[in-house]
Amino acid sequence: MREDPAGALPHLRKSLDARKRSGAIDASLFAANTLAATLTRLGRPEEAEPIVLYGLLVADRIESPVGKARLSLTLGRNYLVRGDRVAAVVAFQNALKSAESVNYESVAIPARTSLEELTQD
């Protein structure tokens, strides 16, 4: 996927759809995050937004702080690509709060870094 993220999109969409159809709701939030993050990296944030919001709804519903942390980080990056710094700060704050609640440093570190970069201006 790293070599050809655009080529991976059909597979990522199938993965998310399969998880939704099978009722694997918890797994669907991580598939949603991967698809939304890839779309955002490809400069397609408008297409990614409803997918990341779906994932956040699932994370809230199943009370997954890890899912909420990862998806909030993706949402923050999505807002940055769209030029909405205020919304990005809120999303990164949510990511950091969720990540810190479960000591999830692989999300806390980039969320903290993004917040520092956005708030030093």
Residue 32 sits in a domain of what CATH number? Answer: 1.25.40.10
Per-residue pLDDT at 121:
61
Question: What's this model's pTM, rounded to 2 decimal places?
Answer: 0.93
Per-residue pLDDT at 4:
86
Per-residue pLDDT at 2:
60
Average pLDDT per 10 consecutive residues for the chain, totaling 121 residues: 83 95 93 97 96 97 96 98 97 98 97 95 61
- 17: containing domain: 5-119
How many domains does the chain fold into?
A: 1
The two structure tokens encoding residue 26: 């918890």
Per-residue pLDDT at 1:
54
Per residue, the 3-state secondary structure of the chain, as one string, reads: CCCCHHHHHHHHHHHHHHHHHHCCHHHHHHHHHHHHHHHHHCCCHHHHHHHHHHHHHHHHHCCCHHHHHHHHHHHHHHHHHHCCHHHHHHHHHHHHHHHHHCCCHHHHHHHHHHHHHHHCC
Per-residue pLDDT at 13:
96
